[in-house]
A and B are shown apart, each in its own frame.
Chain A
Amino acid sequence: MARKKQTRFEIVAKAVNQHLKEDGVVLNFKGYRETVIAYSRMADNHVGEVFDLMIDCLLWSNYMHEVRSFIEWKKEEAQLRLDYHLALEDKKNPSAQLESTIQSWKQKIREYKLLEKHLISQYKFFVKAHDQCKSAYHKGIKVLGHSA
């Protein structure tokens, strides 16, 4: 069976998940792929399905924003840790271990920033998808009203 190809968003989320696991928190996007597939296959004449998808998209937009706020907070916390280690640096006696810690925090911040950008895009995507479903739903209802 062919392996599912991961999107850039999923790859970045997986990388950040490794950092979060250290703090005992995990990212969970179970159901994301199914919702995107359902949206891409949406038929505007199935009013009931469009209505359910409209709810799903709005719930996902809310979820993406929640994760985004959480990641933004984690990014700021990582920045705090990085600044702390930079303050410990002694320019006259450089320490390889401290330098490695600094680089590791810099890498974490880069990944948090990248995921944050992806999450903003995902949030916008689901809001737009919800709006599209809303239009399709109203159109469907009008058609049903005329045929009734």
Chain B
Amino acid sequence: MARPPLSPIVIEKESKPKEEMDYFGFLARTVHPIAKKYDMSLNFKGWQDTKLEYANLKDGNYTVAWKVMEEMNLWADYFSSCANVVQKLFLDSETDKIEIQAIASAEADNVKVANGDRLANKDIRVINARKDRNGLKALYEDLQAKVKFCERCHYQAKSMYDVYTRFVLSQSPDKVKTS
């Protein structure tokens, strides 16, 4: 059995220390400047630690299961609220893109619509608007998946915790009360 790679992306830049991250981190890093334009900052500090705790969860270790259960539930809530905000930014960027595209198209060719639309794609304003929209869309979809992932982790930890506390409780009730 094997776990997926933790930090598959390595970014090396001159005069900067090597950065290692996962695909989600890379996407969040790419979208960060876009979100900043809309006065929003993205912060997922601690997520890797929680994911690692879940990855190292062992059957029967119900004290760790309790912690994982709690943290995963909190992350599910956090990712969900982030997804909602990012969705709003994504929809706004989609509207901006349509507006900019329409202006650029009319400027490029105000007779033939199809030709205007084609030529608009080399306009830097259209390129930037499309880039913003693409980044936000990808991050939004990943955030939605993160919510489901956290919920599944939470239920797995919860079911293991339930099974073992019930078992311990049936063996020695006092032990559970004091732990």
CB of B59 within 8 A of CB of A69, answer no
CA distance A59 to B72 in the complex (A): 13
Contact A134:B156 (CB < 8 A) given known A34-B2, A48-B59, A141-B163: yes
CA distance A141 to B5 in the complex (A): 30
CA distance A55 to B160 in the complex (A): 12
**Max count, chain B CB within 10 A of own CB: residue among A26, A59, A127:** A59
Cβ of A53 under 8 Å from chain B: yes
Binds A, one of B37-45, B88-96, B136-144: B136-144
CA distance A53 to B55 in the complex (A): 10
Q: Return the chain B residue nearest A42 by Cβ.
A: B1
CA distance A67 to B149 in the complex (A): 14
Cβ of A2 under 8 Å from chain B: no
CB of B156 within 8 A of CB of A80, answer no
Cβ of B100 under 8 Å from chain A: no
Size of the chain A interface, CB-CB below 8 angstroms: 49
Cβ of B145 under 8 Å from chain A: yes
CB of B59 within 8 A of CB of A59, answer no
- Dominant SS among interface residues on chain B: helix
CB of B149 within 8 A of CB of A58, answer yes
**Max count, chain B CB within 10 A of own CB: residue among A27, A28, A34:** A28
| Residues of B contacting A77 in the complex (Cβ-Cβ under 8 angstroms) | 131, 134
Encode A12-49 as 1/0 by CB contact (under 8 A) with B.
00000000000011111111101100100000000111
CA distance A80 to B135 in the complex (A): 12
Tell me how far the C-beta of B142 lies from the nearest C-beta in chain A, rounded to whole angstroms.
4
CB of A61 within 8 A of CB of B149, answer yes
Q: Return the chain B residue nearest A65 by Cβ.
A: B145
B100-129 contacts to A, CB under 8 A, are 118-122, 127
CB of A84 within 8 A of CB of B122, answer yes
CA distance A48 to B167 in the complex (A): 16
CB of B131 within 8 A of CB of A60, answer no
CB of A86 within 8 A of CB of B138, answer no
Chain A to chain B contacts (Cβ below 8 Å), 30 pairs? A29-B4, A30-B2, A30-B5, A32-B2, A32-B4, A35-B2, A38-B2, A51-B160, A52-B1, A53-B1, A54-B156, A55-B156, A56-B3, A58-B156, A59-B3, A59-B4, A59-B54, A62-B145, A62-B146, A62-B149, A63-B4, A66-B145, A67-B23, A69-B23, A69-B24, A69-B138, A69-B139, A73-B134, A77-B134, A80-B121
Known: A32-B2, A65-B142. 16 other contacts (CB 8 A): A49-B1, A52-B1, A52-B59, A58-B149, A63-B5, A65-B145, A65-B149, A66-B22, A66-B145, A67-B23, A69-B138, A69-B142, A83-B121, A87-B118, A138-B159, A145-B167
Nearest 10 CB-CB pairings of A with B: A31-B2, A63-B4, A73-B138, A87-B122, A51-B59, A83-B121, A28-B8, A69-B142, A76-B134, A66-B23
